[in-house]
Structure 1
């Protein structure tokens, strides 16, 4: 995969709306990416890639292009292009779509109202191996009473996380986890709780151990799926 130093990343763009597809393609090209193919569906996009003989670094698609089975669509894309990363654009008003795609294996979820500069930064992070999920969408999911209604299967890495009834998080740990879930940094969490960053790191290590998570992303997903801010605290 190309580095983002030159940013000549190859993009396969999938968007059912032709006008939005043409507009986003131009924005991507103007930002320095190479849109090697653009189509309305994954099937059309793969056929276009076959004709051109190219391999995309990132597949960028609208959530609506995944039909109702994002996991299946992603599996098809990765079977064809094992090293390709997947980034999904979603509507800010439907955060469940973003979570469904993220749990189905998307490497990044971006809101459609994102700026071109922020989009470029997120694509660069994804190209470097990071996973990106908007903090604002996490906040919306935490407040959404219908959260968790998506039929998308939860990957094993998330299924293995602890049940909230057995995690035994303290009130302080729940507060810190809730802050983590909405995208706050260790420094911000420390300031909010009048603690040092070192203390926050200790709490986070304890939280990860208790919920059987290995990183902050898994912890954030755990907080969302179990609505940790609404769960009675253990003292």
Structure 2
């Protein structure tokens, strides 16, 4: 790893942050600091082109964490931002990359694998969980275009199902959706099955893609009248080129 690299771990949990710092130092990563807040990081000592990795320990991944990533990317676009999280749904990973994240790593990753992935991010590669590739592989491989004249309002979905569909767009697991809507997890599962049947898709990822192609967002305040049909067909079954490394797929930048 480059001698110029500086890893700043941002984590409100001091024990978890220090534990990760020790893991990296034991594997020859010398310049590692732990901060409770992004605002505590000082860039005054950086000379020349900055080679820095922000390693954010995010569990759970939430809007506040994504806002931190957005601020860090806007303030220091040359820095690499990595998220290390329990939640690795395709929609959540997509949201992270939209705000400037360069690497999204599962906490299930081995210590050696983590260091290897940080090195890849430093080199300018994008790192995503293999779970995302599995979701893409599960898409319909017939590459048939989705009929854009079918709108969400035509699917006969209830208001509750629309709210759950927004949760799928945000990448929320059933447990989080049930807690947010104050219903049981079993009820959420029933609604999800109904959503998949009404949209004629096979999994949560396809349902989220279908809904987003009609203009539905994960924001509960967006009205149904804001739905739009894209002026181009959305193809399913598309799989981008990638390289597998230690259980994680790396897509070219």
Where 1:29 maps in the other structure, the secondary structure is helix
Shift of the alpha carbon at 1:117?
A: 1.5
Report the Cα offset of residue 118 of structure 1.
Answer: 1.3
What's the CA shift for 1:24?
A: 0.7
> Separation in 2 of the partners of 1:31 and 1:162?
50
| Other-structure match for 2:122 | 127
1:38 aligns with 2:34: yes
> 3-state DSSP class of the match of 1:26?
helix
Q: Deviations for 1:24-59, whole angstroms, at most 9, x for unmatched residues?
A: 111111122234421122223x2xx25x73466100
TM-score under structure 1 length normalisation:
0.55
- Trace 1:1-235 onto structure 2 (pairs within 5 A): 4=1, 6=2, 9-44=5-40, 46=41, 49=42, 53-54=45-46, 57-64=52-59, 67-69=62-64, 72-92=67-87, 94-140=89-135, 143-145=203-205, 147=208, 150-151=218-219, 163-165=232-234, 174=237, 177-178=238-239, 180=240
Q: Is the 8 A contact 1:15 1:62 kept in 2?
A: yes
SS of match in other structure, 2:126: coil
Change (3 A) 1:8 1:131: same
Higher-Rg member (1/2): 2
Structure 1 pair 63–17 and aligned structure 2 pair: CA distance change class (3 A):
same
Aligned-partner Cα distance in 1 for 2:117–2:45: 26
C-alpha distance 37-217 of structure 1, shift in aligned 2 (>3 A):
same
Normalising to structure 2: TM-score of the pair? 0.51
Shift, 1:11, TM fit: 0.2
Aligned length: 161
1:71, 1:92 → 2: CA distance? Answer: 13
Q: Give 1:93 shift.
A: 5.7
- Greater length-normalized contact order (CA 8 Å, ≥ 6 residues apart): 2
- Encode CA deviations 1:199-234: one digit per residue, 9 max, x unaligned: xxxxxxxxxxxxxxxxx669xxxxxxxxxxxxxxxx
Encode CA deviations 1:139-168: one digit per residue, 9 max, x unaligned.
2476435646645xxxxxxxxx98434x6x
User: Following the alignment from structure 2 to structure 1, what is the Cα–Cα distance between the partners of residues 31 and 61?
Assistant: 19
Q: Which runs of 5+ in 1 are unaligned?
A: 152-160, 186-215, 219-235
Q: Distance in 2 between matches of 1:89 and 1:67?
A: 13
Change in Cα spacing, 1:17 to 1:136, as seen in structure 2 (3 Å) is: same
Unaligned regions of 5+ residues in structure 2, if any?
139-202, 210-216, 220-229, 245-250
Secondary structure of 1:132 counterpart: strand
Deviation at 1:72, TM superposition (A): 3.6
Q: Give the deviation of 1:184 after TM superposition.
A: 6.8
CA distance in 2, matches of 1:105, 1:57: 14
Whether contact under 8 Å (2:85, 2:106) holds in the other structure is: yes
